[in-house]
A and B are shown apart, each in its own frame.
Chain A
């Protein structure tokens, strides 16, 4: 047990700090504010990171990664937040694992390189209007006609769909089989006829995600990932990896938010309020509990013990920490939040609400913990 960086980790961290010091594009926030420039900027940043060797650190070397432990991904996330650098490409590790675990040799050769370099942007077509928490109830159909799958249906919450080149799409291929066993996974190009992506505007007024319509979309048969009927296990096993707060760089962002709130409370003279200091300290201990839980789960991953269902603990700590700190933020600012004088704070507050919904709602996480970790009986 050692919570400090190893010599190799410390060297990597130092290297990253130096590199970020030289390479962060000035004014990048303004560039991604504009939806038109956002996609191109993200691709460009992905390429820059890849050239520097900062994409897919934990991928096996044979697939173009650096073969390092996932701790290095976590360090990259931490240093990205510390340097206030543009966001890392979000789903590269998760998609990569799905492809090298389940893909054919041809699929690996075709898809892994462009995932690495950022030449292809991916989205994930999982949820549907009628398949939210009950995602295995998805209805988007794929029917085999000759050498093509013909897809019809609708996906929801497909983040980044409008900018994506490809979609990891879950479809129902075998409606007569039990619902978990009739699902398959298609590697779907987004530029084919019959696909339409429309933005979904969330409560803060931003088009943060999308819905996607499929109307007789024809996908070559060889684009199936894994075997027919194997889509559910691909989605679940790969989701268990690399989708927690540790992989999203949430912890360092949270710590930065807390620092800003501490400054804000001091500037506004709110530290004299006897309720404010304990509230800020509570935000700190919640952040620590999350940081340290994430680190333990990462350590399990490093030692080859996949933290599966226990990942729900981190998700629940994450949702609670983020929603509590946003409550604290709006309390510190008082009426300004609601009178249009702090629009970013209002937006940040509203953005904290879906944290307990996306990636599995808090209620689903509790079901998972009760039934699969505590082994309580199903109803």
Chain B
């Protein structure tokens, strides 16, 4: 048993961290921001293609690398659709054995796609032939839907005919209603494949939340060291220190469950991998609101303003918490996994 990142994983973390520092947000005013900035660099690092299958059928990188990238980019609020429009559709297509001509352009960043979800983003769209909703789906060139089949599922690929963005809370990601045309292709996918995808997708969303909590808390702690009131830094007050310490405990508790889930994506049997992913998602989603509210509180008045990033972190993490089921949903699934129908 050893729960430490490898040297290669630490190197990836440092590379993505460096990139994230450059392409992350510095203000909540996104109107003038170049949303496309950094996509080429992210693609060059290989982030969209992390789950591309090689000649042996093994993914280029494990769930742990996906977690690392999602945490680092999340911690800087990078407003690029590497999860919803790249890593997650690549994984779904790869699990269904889609050909390189479809997966390749997604993995190298030249095309984007979206998985069709329900209106609350909590599960797959029930009737994807009629469209659905996309999370983190900016510039999706095609869409993927799951249709029940005689044995398992059919993964259908559709052209996108219309995109109607929602005014969703997260200012850094696109959430949209997606209308689709005819099915372009179909690939069979069994329940294990769907569950494997869920394990990765839940873990990626959870890692995004962990990253957002880490980035936001680090900023608030730094601020508390500089902000002087009553002649001393506010971070010297025990009330402030204990809030930050409690937040740290929640963040690290979340990070440890998500790390295990990330490892489990490729290493655990399907039911255990999914249970681990739901555990991480439940824990991180529950922590998100508390931790990010603490962050806003530590910043005081300035942390309540539109210009400040504190609410951008909160918005992003809370929306990620909804993706494929929030805390309540995951707890119900965990309960079912442990107690069955009793």
Contacts and interface: CB of A to CB of B under 8 A. Distances in A.
* Same assembly: yes
Interface of A: 1-6, 9, 71, 74, 262, 266, 271, 277-278, 280-282, 284-286, 288-290, 292-293, 295-296, 298-300, 302-303, 310, 313, 316-317, 363, 365-367, 369-371, 373-379
A289 B257 contact: yes
Given A278-B335, A300-B4, A366-B246, 13 more contacts: A3-B1, A3-B267, A6-B1, A71-B2, A278-B332, A281-B338, A285-B331, A292-B259, A295-B3, A310-B252, A370-B235, A376-B221, A376-B240
A317 B256 CA distance: 12
Contact of A299 (B4, B232, B342): B4
Most chain-B Cβ atoms within 10 A of its Cβ — which of A284, A288, A375? A288
A371 B241 CA distance: 8
B246 A284 contact: no
Contact of B225 (A3, A71, A281, A377): A377
A71 B338 CA distance: 27
A42 B333 CA distance: 43
A44 B64 CA distance: 46
B23 to A, nearest CB: 26
Interface in B1-38: 1-6, 9
A316 B244 CA distance: 13
Contact of A2 (B1, B256, B342): B1
Most chain-A Cβ atoms within 10 A of its Cβ — which of B238, B254, B328? B238
Interface in B255-281: 256-257, 259-260, 263-264, 267, 279
B1 A295 contact: yes
A9 to B, nearest CB: 6
29 contacts: A1-B3, A2-B1, A2-B267, A3-B264, A6-B1, A9-B1, A277-B335, A277-B339, A281-B332, A281-B335, A284-B334, A288-B260, A289-B254, A289-B283, A292-B3, A293-B256, A295-B256, A299-B1, A310-B252, A363-B242, A366-B241, A367-B245, A369-B244, A370-B242, A374-B245, A376-B240, A376-B244, A377-B232, A377-B233
A288 B257 contact: yes
A276 to B, nearest CB: 9
Contact of A378 (B4, B236, B334): B236
Contacts of B252: 293, 310, 313
Contacts of A298: 1, 3
B166 interface: no
A122 B23 CA distance: 58
B245 A266 contact: no
B96 interface: no
A4 B332 CA distance: 27
Interface of B: 1-6, 9, 64, 221, 224-225, 232-233, 235-238, 240-242, 244-246, 248-249, 252-254, 256-257, 259-260, 263-264, 267, 279, 282-283, 328, 330-332, 334-335, 338-339, 342
Contacts of B254: 289
Given A313-B248, A376-B221, A262 B338 contact: yes
Contacts of A363: 242
Contacts of A1: 2-6, 9, 64, 263
Given A285-B282, A363-B242, A371-B241, A2 B2 contact: yes
B221 A374 contact: yes
Contact of B245 (A5, A303, A369, A377): A369
Contacts of A282: 282, 331
A376 B225 contact: yes
A265 to B, nearest CB: 8
Contacts of A371: 241
Nearest to A320: B249
Nearest to B282: A285
Contacts of A281: 282, 330-332, 334-335, 338
A295 B263 CA distance: 14
A298 B282 CA distance: 24
B2 A302 contact: yes
Most chain-B Cβ atoms within 10 A of its Cβ — which of A1, A6, A266, A284? A1
B232 to A, nearest CB: 7
A317 B282 CA distance: 16
A353 to B, nearest CB: 19
Nearest to A370: B241
Given A280-B338, A317-B249, A71 B1 contact: yes
Contacts of A365: 245
B283 A4 contact: no
A10 to B, nearest CB: 10
Contacts of B248: 313, 369, 373-374
A379 B237 contact: yes
Contacts of A293: 252-253, 256
Contacts of B342: 266, 271
Given A278-B335, A281-B338, A300-B4, A288 B279 contact: yes
B318 to A, nearest CB: 19
A1 to B, nearest CB: 6
B282 A370 contact: no
Contacts of B238: 367, 370, 379
Most chain-B Cβ atoms within 10 A of its Cβ — which of A9, A293, A376? A376
A369 B248 CA distance: 8
A371 B283 CA distance: 26
Contact of B244 (A262, A289, A290, A370): A370
Contacts of A310: 252
B232 A379 contact: yes
B340 to A, nearest CB: 10
Contacts of A289: 253-254, 256-257, 283
B309 to A, nearest CB: 19
Contacts of B331: 277-278, 281-282, 285
Contacts of A366: 241-242, 245-246
A335 B232 CA distance: 50
B339 A374 contact: no
B113 to A, nearest CB: 30
Contact of B235 (A74, A266, A373, A377): A377
B268 to A, nearest CB: 9
A293 B260 CA distance: 10
Contacts of B335: 277-278, 280-281
A187 B332 CA distance: 54
